[in-house]
Structure 1
Amino acid sequence: MGDDVGAVRAAVLTLHRTTGLPMVFGGALSGQDRLRITELVGNTTDSLNGLVVRQGNGLGGKAMAMGRPAWVSNYPCSAAISHDYDKPVGREGLLSILAVPIVVRRRVRGVIYGALREPLGLADRVVGAAVQVARDLEQDLAVHDRADEALAQLPPDTSAARWEEVRAVHAELRALAEQVDDLPTRDRLRRASLRLAAAGLDEADGSAGSGGAAPRPAVLSPRELDVLSYVAIGCTNAEAAERLGLLPETVKSYLRSAMRKLDSHTRLEAVTAARRAGLLP
């Protein structure tokens, strides 16, 4: 659930930025057929924070049950939904609300909401933007799930586990480098990350520990490599964005550019190509 909560948080921030709605919120499933609202932007009270929404109840519960977006232009007067949550919604003063479920492999993983404090219809542009944010999140979660499943099928290997730790440290080094204002220190951190990547190349060639291999010339920009280093340890675009202090759309742009430069069609292909080139451990 933790990964889903982080991904929903990034989606809520993106929805707020792209639509300009005065309030957006959302949450991930916290149990069977139950959603817990944990992410809020633009709220004036805490009435919705921590609210548990059950499938079929209220607007979000209806969207969960249908597996598709649902909206009302006057929440307290709508006959299309149940009114289990009128009090917390009323305290926040929300009237026109849109709820979009996050559905991965036919299973609802969360819901994102956008709302107005006036009884107005939501523009098609706003609804379309919310649906697009949800679709992007669904793709992110699906990729993350497939990566987890592939890793789970691998036999236990202490060497592989050690390399996963090296890769996590590599990603942290690159993120830390971007937070350092002192240019010489930033360069040293980047060079240290490239040494780790070169060690991975030596391991793949069967010459680990030789100490003499120099990193191959980088074909990626520092930020492209930053993003790819987090993709390599299984992060979704939203998680990489949060760790690097970037917008999810910016991460997606860097990833597309890296994939193009590495002549790769998928994230996994890009990571594999970067490792073969000595750019990632």
Structure 2
Amino acid sequence: MTARLPEFCGLVALVGRPNVGKSTLLNILLGQKISITSRKPQTTRHRITGIDTRDQYQAIFVDTPGIHQTQTNAMNRYMNRAATSTIADVDVTVFVVDRLSWNEEDELVVQGLMVAKSPVILVLNKIDRLTDKSRLLPHIQSLASVFDWAEVLPLSAKTGYQLDQLREAIYQRLPKQSHLYDADQITDRSERFMAAELIREKMMRQCGDELPYQVAVEIESFNHQGHVIHISALIWVEREGQKKIIIGRAGEQIKKIGTDARKDIETMTEKKVMLKLWVKVKSSWSDDERMLKSLGFDE
């Protein structure tokens, strides 16, 4: 009889300031998109859980919103709280920074890391964009005094450079315990939640800098009818001008948002999707605590 190998399982936080590639890194590690991405900072608003199971190892990744200090409304307070509270509860923390860039928001993350009881791996992402590699080692040496890093890894989520080394560094630090999820499960988020996120991603990609952060998606209905899923979604904005941007001339913009989102939702669910979108205006919703809770923002 073959002896069963011991299992290792733990929570892994992905933290960092906005737009350093945390969500892209998570999607690449999992081999499937569960966290939306765009060029716009602060794309991630909620803690997204991704589950990576390989042989006896199970890493439960938590992709947190980017920690920042430039916005002070209720939505951003929720997002900062979600990110910093995660750090205290995990087995491994992966702090992602952008190549040789280091600023006040990175320092803010380091302050949050002071509560971490777990090892912290520093990842210098987007290394494929670094033209002068001779600057890398001095930068790593300068960061050695900032925090007691368990490991420092330059990598590229885009090209996969050093990705296996990161995975191994995480696996080595997972506690010995039984897996918490089935081997084929890659997220604990519902299809309903993921549908809202995919719609929001398409808006951010289509509208670009024209669209501010005060945009949210609420799924009004998500019904399975045979092999078809019928979804009705509300897009919340704060001003009439934002509504016009999303709808576009003769409704072309919202039509494209809906088409692109529907295709991704069909890929995710492996079913045909009928998607209906509406845009509504509610002034200052991003500073309304009651509405934020109704939209699923964590306390």
> Normalised by the shorter chain, which TM-score bucket?
under 0.3
Larger radius of gyration: 1
Q: TM-score, normalised by structure 1?
A: 0.21
Larger strand proportion of the pair: 2
Larger helix proportion of the pair: 1
Q: Tell which has more relative contact order, 1 or 2 (C-alpha 8 A, sep 6+).
A: 2
Q: TM-score, normalised by structure 2?
A: 0.20
